[in-house]
Amino acid sequence: MSEAERIGLYGGTFNPPHMGHERLAKACLEALELDRLLLIPTAQPPHKQLPPGSAQGVQRAEMARLMARRIPKAQVCGLELERSGPSYTRDTVDRLRQIYPEAEFWLIMGADMFLSFHKWREPEQIAKQCRLAVAARLPDSRRQLERQAEFLRQELGVCSRIVDCPVTVLSSTQVRSHIPRGRWKGELAPEVAQYIQRQGLYQADPLEPLRREAKARMSEKRYRHTLGVAETAARLAERFGEDVYQAQTAALLHDLTKALDYEEQLKLCGQYGIITDYGENGKALLHADTAAALARREFGVSEEAAQAIAYHTTGAPGMTQLDKIVYLADCIEPGREYPGVDKLRRLCKKDLDQAMIFSLRQSIEHIQSKGGRPYWRTQRALEDFLAKKETGS
């Protein structure tokens, strides 16, 4: 009896496809001894919005095709682009199973996707049809991948394999921001770079207007801090599978109104209908709400990013992963120096909830040591994280 065909399924936005994608594909092809590799451009990823200035689906498919020509046995599969609505892997795998009833499927992904796999739609159903192949996106994340592989095995019966692949610290978000400055060398295959140039893609960095705005509204020192927060938020978002563009957007705007005095803050509150119960803490805290309102109304940022801005100083119960990333990036960006910051940086690499507990505790103790009263939401945020830790949820 002949062996089942081994097929790698590699989905992505490919906006644009870069050398990190190509190296992962080639490493999997070899390590898994694949007979066929399907590159599957996503129409609408369920976990992130396509940022402004993105390439169209047909253009992303064409770039994936150009990459496929560089990879033996690779071809582009247009299934997801043909469907409308969010591209759920579950649906794609079901359809591919009809086309290849006997094949052995390997679902290929980077660490960020693997670490959030249990949050995908019906992951246990996907796991019945496919094994997972994952590679690190950052040099020091192997342990984290091993822990997740064990967790997925126990909880969802997932069979996974960590593939040895040269780590390429690179994302499409980074590439897009390098293209307008011509700094994409080594990040893109020449064929893809040529296509981008011919089509005039990605010529404007969508974050540039936000950077300009931030720079105009703050001191040199605060602007440096802001860039540090944006860079750190991007790294954390990549590590934990969060939307990098949203994380950078929120980070770039988080301190937009911090330089304003209290009177001006109150004026903005009146203008945007902001009501708070900060009391004596108002002077220190209002800027988060006014920046969130400005980001929402003047810059049209998503509700998720606006909330992350609003919570960046106090935290809140029920924080989303994006909220945590922006809060923690603000605490650990490279310019921060205070006792405990290195420990917090280490925690941020492993577990965002543990890092939040550490940081919220520090913040509460710091306020109390100065005779102040921490805002109730910070206390509630801490209780919320501690309760989650206890129940393991």
Report the alpha-carbon distance of residue 240 to residue 322 in Å, rounded: 10
Q: Which of these ranges, 164-172, 206-214, 333-341, 359-367, lies near ligand ATP under the rule CB under 6 A?
A: 164-172
| Smallest separation, CB 19 to ligand ATP (Å) | 8
- Site for ligand ATP contains 170 (CB under 6 A): yes
Is residue 296 a contact residue for ligand ATP (CB under 6 A)? no
Residue 321 interacts with ligand ATP (CB under 6 A)?
A: no
Based on the shown chain and the rule CB under 6 A, indicate whether residue 20 belongs to the binding site for ligand ATP: yes
- Cβ distance to ligand ATP smaller for residue 20 or 228: 20
Indicate which single residue of 81, 113, 236, 295 sits in contact with ligand ATP (rule: CB under 6 A). 113
Cis peptide, bond prior to residue 16, ω within 30 of zero: yes
Smallest distance, Å, CB 28 to ligand ATP? 10
Q: What gap in Å lies between CA 127 and CA 290, rounded to an integer?
A: 45
Whose CA is closest to 310, among 337, 332, 330?
Answer: 330
Confirm or reject binding of residue 112 to ligand ATP (CB under 6 A): yes
| Site membership for ligand ATP, residue 248 (CB under 6 A) | no
The least distance separating ligand ATP from the CB of residue 387, rounded to whole angstroms, comes to 31
According to CB under 6 A, which residues from 171 to 230 bind ligand ATP?
171-173
- Determine which residue in the list 65, 68, 93, 137 makes contact with ligand ATP, applying CB under 6 A: 137
Q: How many whole angstroms separate alpha carbon 148 and alpha carbon 161?
A: 11
DSSP code string of 207-250 = THHHHHHHHHHS-HHHHHHHHHHHHHHHHHHHHHT--HHHHHHH
Residue 135 binds to ligand ATP (criterion: CB under 6 A): yes
Contact (Cβ atoms closer than 8 angstroms) between residue 81 and residue 61: yes
Q: Does 76 bind ligand ATP (CB under 6 A)?
A: no
**For residues 241 and 315, which CB has a smaller minimum distance to ligand ATP in the complex?**
241
Closest approach, Cβ 44 to ligand ATP, in A, equals 12
Q: Which of 6, 8, 14, 89 binds ligand ATP (CB under 6 A)?
A: 14
Closest C-alpha to 13, from 126, 134, 110, 90? 110
Give yes or no for residue 168 binding ligand ATP (CB under 6 A). Answer: yes
Stretch that binds ligand ATP, among 10-18, 115-123, 215-223, 260-268 (CB under 6 A): 10-18
Alpha-carbon distances of 344 from 89, 312, 365, rounded to whole Å? 35, 16, 15
Phi, psi angles (nearest 5°) of residue 186? 80, -10
Q: Which is nearer to ligand ATP, 18 or 217 (CB)?
A: 18
What separation in angstroms does the CA of 105 have from each of 2, 45, 94? 16, 21, 11
Give 367's contacts (C-beta < 8 A, 6+ positions apart): 373, 374
Q: State how far the Cα of 247 lies from the Cα of 242, in Å rounded to an integer.
A: 8
Interaction between residue 110 and ligand ATP (CB under 6 A): yes
Q: Which of 244, 253, 288, 381 binds ligand ATP (CB under 6 A)?
A: 244
The one-letter amino acid code at 18 reads: H
Cα separations in angstroms, 389 against 67, 114, 351, 384: 43, 22, 11, 9
Q: Which residues bind ligand ATP (CB under 6 A)?
A: 12-15, 20-21, 24, 109-110, 112-113, 135, 137, 168, 170-173, 244
